[in-house]
Amino acid sequence: MQAKVDFLKVRVRGRLVHSVSMSVRVRFAPSPTGSLHVGSLRDALFKHLFARHHKGANILRIEDTDRARYSAEAEQDFIDNLHWVGIDYDEGPHVGGPHAPYRQSERKEAGIYARWIDEFLKLGHAYKAFETPEELVEMREFQQVNRQPVGYFGGLWRDAAPSQAEDAERAGKPFVIRQRVPRGVTIAIDDAIRGRIEWNSDTVDDPVLIKADGMPTYHFAAMVDDHLMGITHIMRGEEWISSAPKHAALFDAFGWERPIFVHCPVIKGKDGKKLSKRQGDTRVADYRADGYLPEALLNLIALIGWSPGGDREIMSIQELIEAFDLPGLQPSPGVFDLEKLRWMNGHYIREMAPHRLAASLRAYLAEPGTKAYFLREAEADDALEQGRREVWDGLSSLAVGLEEGAALATKALAMEQGRVHTLSEFGEATAFFFQDEPPMDAKAVEKWLTQPHVPVLLAHFLAWATGMSALSVEECEAAVRGYAEKQGLEKLGPVVHPLRVALTGRTVGPGLFELMSALGPARMAARLARAVGAAR
């Protein structure tokens, strides 16, 4: 499966910073506490594209050392939604692999971190620190008041005599284990996107590696695992840049070869602010429930912070894999543009062959998440809740239509395919095809069915449709044009508009002749009969 990539070249702004022989191995290492959100999806997608581009390995590792926040349900949500968009893993808790287990809590139970922290203590790169929480608060306050860098730069324990620490431990004092970050040196990384970044090590505080309860922190567990799992590129969000000197120092202290750091740009909303609920949904599950297609979501998200060069925008997952590499990654924040996502989704919907579209809709309607999304209670906005209920009503009609008559449903979908942007919009757009008595818009009735010529018009078409077995688009067109001519009408409007309202309850919709043909004579007759009543 894995090919060796010889001379993998990593360029930073045109400069070659690495030319090494390696098989790419990357990991998505979430700490699942809630549902997968768009930012994490982008993180996972970049790694997927990079691993697949280089025919390397994509690994899922669950960072669940914060047991109070970890949720098994959230982990399942991650795996499920990643699978839905088409991101799968070569190694991970759900598929196993040579470095199992892939959950850090299980790795802790297996003694992995204990073994390496012992080694680190022995090497002198870590030390036990016995400050109480109150003492730490005091230290912080002192630093703030005196305008000193805030953090743990040694406290009482970094340079304490070994016997002092032994005494404290023997006395049963709780302690954490901290990293002894070297002092008085420059720590530098060559980030694949940002180039060389340097820190004066005196500004880098000594992070906790093992907490008082024996659990490793992210700083320790992630780096030990990245080493043991042979991770070649630590691709992660730019919010981790400030931790990079600690991590680089840790790799150096162990004498391990450092992976290449790739700090990916953050995602912002169109307003330039951190992506939040205000700019639309942030959970992948919500986009899925709202009828976005995986190919559209992947396409849009891949272009946030990465560019294939040129002005290519619509790209299939295969094209993304072929084009994706580190030089296309940008240091500046990427923007999540919901309008663009809608546009892309509309594009992918239009591209779908009829049978695939119907199959996708069936699967979409059968998913429990879809109904739950539209019928959930609004937090504050009643109008919003009402709107969503209406969408669900439309979708329920479509579900019945898809079940009852594949032929009508296929025609209805084809007629709306060019107009809708999401699968959910098919509901409202097509509901009138399948409802026995589609709701009549009062304004439309008032405007078009109360005109003096309408009762005769409706009666004519009712008589025409009654007893027919099927009608082609051409036959319907001929009937409408023939009637207008016979009545001496110069324009089709006075015939077309009342008929449309009678048949659909609305003033806008697909072309009338296609619509009439698709509905068929029996449905048409029933609706015209009802409209005759309304027109009186």
The catalytic site residues sit at 277
Closer residue to ligand GLU (CB): 259 or 521: 259
Closest CB 308 distance from ligand GLU, rounded Å:
24
Residue 520: which region, alpha, beta or left (left: phi > 0; alpha: psi -120 to 50)? Answer: left
Two tokens, residue 316: 């299939």
Two tokens, residue 495: 């015939």
Closest CB 43 distance from ligand GLU, rounded Å:
7
User: Which residues 236-265 are close enough to bind ligand GLU by CB under 6 A?
Assistant: 236, 240
Interface residue with ligand GLU among 8, 30, 224, 374 (CB under 6 A) is: 30
Count of residues in contact with ligand GLU, rule CB under 6 A? 8
Most distant CA pair in the chain, distance = 110
Angstrom distance (rounded) from CA 40 to CA 285: 12
- What residue type is 83 in one-letter code? H
Tokens 């990465």 map to which residue?
306
Closer residue to ligand GLU (CB): 74 or 289: 74
Closer residue to ligand GLU (CB): 231 or 357: 231
Long-range contacts at 367-371 (CB < 8 A, ≥ 24 apart): 367/288, 367/289, 369/285, 369/288, 369/289, 370/289, 370/291, 370/395, 370/424
Closer residue to ligand GLU (CB): 26 or 399: 26
SS3 163: helix
- Give the number of residues written for the chain: 536
Closer residue to ligand GLU (CB): 75 or 416: 75
- Among residues 245, 283, 284, which one has the least CA distance to residue 263? 245
Interface residue with ligand GLU among 26, 29, 323, 524 (CB under 6 A) is: 29
- Specify whether the CB–CB gap between 209 and 125 falls below 8 A: no
**Does 58 interact with ligand GLU (rule: CB under 6 A)?**
no
**Does 8 interact with ligand GLU (rule: CB under 6 A)?**
no
Q: What are phi and psi of 305, to 5 degrees?
A: 95, 0
Tokens 């009762």 map to which residue?
455
- Specify whether the CB–CB gap between 93 and 245 falls below 8 A: no
Closest CB 111 distance from ligand GLU, rounded Å:
21
**Does 275 interact with ligand GLU (rule: CB under 6 A)?**
no
Interface residue with ligand GLU among 26, 139, 209, 222 (CB under 6 A) is: 222
Angstrom distance (rounded) from CA 355 to CA 221: 48
**Does 63 interact with ligand GLU (rule: CB under 6 A)?**
yes
**Does 305 interact with ligand GLU (rule: CB under 6 A)?**
no
**Does 35 interact with ligand GLU (rule: CB under 6 A)?**
no
Angstrom distance (rounded) from CA 422 to CA 373: 14
Two tokens, residue 272: 């330039």
Q: Please identify the residue of the shown chain whose CB is closest to the bound ligand GLU.
A: 236
Closer residue to ligand GLU (CB): 107 or 497: 107
**Does 75 interact with ligand GLU (rule: CB under 6 A)?**
no
Q: Candidates 7-15, 27-35, 280-288, 293-301: pick the segment binding ligand GLU (CB under 6 A).
A: 27-35
Angstrom distance (rounded) from CA 67 to CA 74: 13
Closer residue to ligand GLU (CB): 117 or 222: 222
Closest CB 265 distance from ligand GLU, rounded Å:
14
**Does 60 interact with ligand GLU (rule: CB under 6 A)?**
no
Two tokens, residue 267: 């995602």
**Does 65 interact with ligand GLU (rule: CB under 6 A)?**
no
Residues that bind ligand GLU (CB under 6 A): 29-31, 63, 218, 222, 236, 240
